[in-house]
Amino acid sequence: MAKLKVTLVRSTIGREKSQIDTVRALKLRKIGSSSVLDDTPQVRGMINKVKHLVSVEEVNE
């Protein structure tokens, strides 16, 4: 299965609670923190919701 590396590049301060919760669900805490997640429709939907706060790249394993 393909993997995605998601990195938090902008702060969640002043954002809606649902966006903050989505960032936490992606296992991101501080700016610059990254997590490698499976490329599933659910993860893609979460990324799409906070696309202005994160950067995404594909990871080849």
pTM across the whole model:
0.92
Q: Please report, for the domain that includes residue 45, its CATH number.
A: 3.30.1390.20
DSSP string, 1-61: --EEEEEE-S--TTS-HHHHHHHHHTT--STT-EEEEE--HHHHHHHHHTTTTEEEEEE--
Residue 60 in any domain: the answer is no
Q: pLDDT of 4-60, one tens digit each?
A: 999 999 999 999 999 999 999 999 999 999 999 999 999 999 999 999 999 999 998
Give a yes or no: residue 28 inside a domain.
Answer: yes
- Whole-number pLDDT of residue 60: 86
How many CB atoms neighbour CB 36 within 10 A?
Answer: 11
Assigned domain for 61 exists: no
DSSP bridge pairs for 4: 37, 58
Q: Which of 61 and 46 is assigned the larger pLDDT? A: 46
Q: Give the pLDDT score at 1.
A: 83
